[in-house]
Amino acid sequence: MIEVKNIRKTYGSGDTAFDALKNISFSINDGEFVAIMGPSGSGKSTLMHILGCLDTPTGGIYTLDGKDVSKMTDDELADIRKDNIGFVFQAFNLLPRTTVLRNVMLPLVYDGIPEAQRKEVATRALHSAGLSETHFTHLSNQLSGGQIQRVAIARALVNNPSLILADEPTGNLDSKTSSVVLGTFQNLNEELGRTIVLITHESDIAEYAARIISMRDGCIVEDRKNIHRKRHENN
């Protein structure tokens, strides 16, 4: 699904040039759950922006679903983001005075999908994210942090993206709630076959993924399968 070959990202020029990414190469297969981990300044956020088609590399090739996106125009990148990538962020980015169901339906409005179909698709996405129907009519500001993040996950699913990109999705949650949310990602990966890339600076969060790519100073320092991965027992 993802192939990154010799990706470089340089900010500035001349004496002030800074290489945030230094010839990064890796691939991610369809259906993998991968954590990209590193401390602040490691390059993981820069890499996340490139993987999410929010930025373009200075050099190298990035292929997503067989398409070379590394040199696409802004409009082409916007189409890739809309059709191929579901984003889950640390800041939940939900509309506070809107119901859970309507928050999840919102991305479908822009595609001109009829309301009845929007409701059906959004309901299915919320079920996939593990949220009970009793919460569908609640306003998002009436939910717990973990429930809100599950709504955000459902919203990321509604356009049936090939890739779910989660950027520090547990950053605003306590450890118990984080475990529940990460269990939701594990279910989506193992039961529905969703490809998930999780960006984090915390090693205990990365341990929920099946594979961990560790970064430091703009380079990959380790890429390993995670045989003894953590699990949320009641997901």
What's the pLDDT tens digit per position in 6-61? 999 999 888 888 999 999 999 999 999 999 999 999 999 999 999 999 999 999 99
pLDDT surpassing 60 at residue 234: no
pLDDT grade, residue 235 (50/70/90)? very low
48 SS3 class:
helix
Neighbouring-strand partners of residue 26: 4
pLDDT surpassing 70 at residue 215: yes
pLDDT at 192: 87
Contact, 49 vs 55, CB < 8 A? yes
Q: Give the pLDDT confidence of 101-144 residue by residue, as tens digits.
A: 999 998 888 777 888 999 999 999 999 888 889 999 999 888 88
pLDDT grade, residue 223 (50/70/90)? very high
pLDDT at 189: 92
* Of 1, 40, 48, the residue nearest 24 (C-alpha): 48
Q: Residue 137 burial by CB count (10 A; 0-12/13-18/19+): exposed, middle or buried? A: exposed
d(CA 69, CA 95): 31
pLDDT at 233: 61
Contact, 1 vs 62, CB < 8 A? no
d(CA 28, CA 3): 7
What average pLDDT does the segment 72-89 reach?
Answer: 90
pLDDT surpassing 50 at residue 63: yes
Q: Give the pLDDT confidence of 164-195 residue by residue, as tens digits.
A: 999 998 888 888 888 989 999 999 999 889 99
pLDDT grade, residue 220 (50/70/90)? very high
Contact, 147 vs 96, CB < 8 A? no
pLDDT at 7: 96
Residue 78 burial (CB count, 10 A): 13
Instruction: State the alpha helices, DSSP H only, in the chain.
Output: 44-51, 74-84, 100-109, 115-128, 145-157, 175-192, 203-206
pTM for the whole structure = 0.90
Chain-centre distance for alpha carbon 206: 13
Q: Which domains does the chain have, with CATH numbers?
A: 33-54+85-225 (3.40.50.300)
Contact, 84 vs 65, CB < 8 A? yes
Tokens encoding 140: 């998002």
